[in-house]
Amino acid sequence: MKFHSMATAVAILTVTALGLSGCAAGGSSDPGASSGAGATGGTLTLGSLADIKSFDPAQAHLGHQMPIYQAAYDTLIKRDADGTLSPMLATEWSYNDDNTVLTLTLRDDVTFSDGTTFDAAAAKANLDHFLADNGPDAQQIALVSAVDVVDDSTISITLSEPDPALEYYLTQAPGLIGSPAALATAEIDTAPVGSGPYVMDAANSVSGSQFTFTANPDYWDKDAQKYDKVVFKVLTDITARTNALVSGQIDATLLDPKTGVQAEGAGLTLTEYSTDWMGLFLFDRDGAITPELADVRVRQAINHAIDRDTILEQLALGHGEVTTQIFNKDTAAYEADLDDAYPYDPKKAKSLLAAAGYEDGFTLKLPLLPGTEAILAVVTQQLADIGITVEQEAVPQANYVADISGAKYSAAWFSVFQGEPWVVIKQQIATTAGYNPFDSTSPELAAALLAAQTGGDQSAEQAAAVNEYVVENAWFAPFFRPSQMYYSNSKVVEVVPQTQQAVPSLYNYSPVN
């Protein structure tokens, strides 16, 4: 099933992105905290809107949970704040000539918190476990056909076909490395055993409430240990997060435009960045259930009917950037002029509909996800202005993803991650993509996808042609890139945003001296 890992996305949307429609003590030095040679920053306390269901790396689903996993686990490759890939447990890596075998050289000075040595056998055990355990992100390395130990400090990963996102995925859940002795045990669900900068303090951790970590005294990279203790408070309710931040119970957390007003009034500092795009998926490009959508002029008309500036102001209080493309602006696939490919022009939209033979309009059924009523109301009105009648159909949150993946609807609203180009392609464009339930394609697009897949170091640049195609053919009707609104107490912590990630990586926090 193509939407294997997307159920969590819906749950997160109801907490964060859907909030757009309306919806000092923690950083002080803690003399009782354990200390490593590189740990000097006292205690960092963060508010997390997502819980950890299992600390088994194979069951990890990253995004909002990423910093919690990073406390306990290193990844094979590290992803810096600007998206640059840098060494972590792997010191160097390279592909063979046809980009089907990735060879990684590993560190030889790392031990897990249970005393087990990290080596090539441990890395292989983790990747094999990740593949076999069929966790929520298992599809990320579905093209891996074999993991082999070359020698004690070298592994090779063989792919059934090139995957330009593999190195990126090794910075994510597939790259998390735990002690082989702990993998697949019942204990690892609640007690992580990694080689990371911190170890869990079980006595002060309660699942669903708080996770406490203290500095690992044997950590191999002391410069990365900026704190003696890191505490994650699980606060799924945005009002609770706001109150905890304003009162000083936590040092930083993710809010939204509405709650951000209270945070700014209390003197908290805003770090603003984008990770998603929000808008309509026009799935049924061949007109299987909505024949009108088979005509590109109809899809283009829908794009011209959207008043993006007004929607951004109404739904996000102006926090974001209007766009008509789905690729992230921090990647080589992004093209600035595609942000305004479909300016708001109802007159032109009506002309396009008439040229396509739908001067009298037509009816478009859209699923209504709980919490998106305000968004769908705006969409309904703006499409009505050009003659398209929107018929909303309420869908329970639990069924939303399954209904979309089952091609029940020809179009739908969603807020979706803007990742690396090949990640976007695999998720939203390829015929195997979860967000392409009707398997839309064309010879021109297939050729562009192949060029991006086999482009090696030039894969992202090749993906620009894919971007141009889906914009020109109006596969989507993006509204804007909503801002992630991350607030912090700048008197005690400095925060650097992480590109293409919901919240900053743990490595991006530093104490204020």
**For residue range 220-247, what is the model confidence (pLDDT) as tens digits?**
999 999 999 999 999 999 999 999 999 9
What does the pLDDT average to over 77-100?
Answer: 97
Residue 405: pLDDT band (50, 70, 90) is: confident
Mean pLDDT of the chain: 92
Residue 39: pLDDT band (50, 70, 90) is: low
- Residue 290 pLDDT more than 90? yes
Q: Specify the DSSP element, H or E, that contains 64.
A: none
For residue 345, list its beta bridge partners: none
C-alpha to C-alpha distances, 5 to 151, 438, 453, nearest whole angstrom: 34, 18, 22
Nearest residue to 245 (alpha-carbon basis) of 495, 490, 503, 488: 488
In tens, the pLDDT along 198-217 reads: 999 999 999 999 999 999 99
The DSSP annotation for 269-299 comes to EEEEEE-EEEEEE---TT-SS-GGGGSHHHH
- Both tokens of 62, joined, read 């990253």
The CATH number of the structural domain formed by 277-482 is 3.10.105.10
Q: What is the pLDDT at residue 32? A: 32
In tens, the pLDDT along 309-357 reads: 999 999 999 999 999 999 999 999 999 999 999 999 999 999 999 999 9
Burial environment of residue 32 by CB neighbours within 10 A (0 to 12, 13 to 18, 19 or more): exposed
C-alpha to C-alpha distances, 41 to 37, 195, 507, nearest whole angstrom: 11, 20, 13
d(CA 167, CA 103): 11
Q: What is the pLDDT at residue 26? A: 33
Name, in order, each residue with C-beta under 8 angstroms of 364's C-beta and a sequence gap of 6 or more. 290, 292, 383, 388, 389, 390, 391, 410, 411
Q: Give CATH 3.40.190.10 domain extents, the chain.
A: 24-255
Q: Is residue 99 a contact partner of residue 28, using CB atoms and an 8 Å limit? A: no
What does the pLDDT average to over 109-115?
Answer: 97
Domain 24-255, CATH 3.40.50.10490 — does that match?
no
C-alpha to C-alpha distances, 29 to 25, 198, 354, 511, nearest whole angstrom: 9, 17, 68, 10
Model pTM score: 0.90
Q: Specify the DSSP element, H or E, that contains 477.
A: strand 476-488
Q: What is the pLDDT at residue 25? A: 29
Q: Give CATH 3.10.105.10 domain extents, the chain.
A: 277-482
Q: Is residue 303 a contact partner of residue 479, using CB atoms and an 8 Å limit? A: no
Nearest residue to 389 (alpha-carbon basis) of 357, 365, 424, 420: 365
d(CA 25, CA 63): 26
Nearest residue to 491 (alpha-carbon basis) of 172, 271, 269, 264: 269
Better-scored residue on pLDDT, 172 or 39: 172
- Residue 418 pLDDT more than 70? yes
Q: What is the pLDDT at residue 513? A: 80
For residue 149, list its beta bridge partners: 155
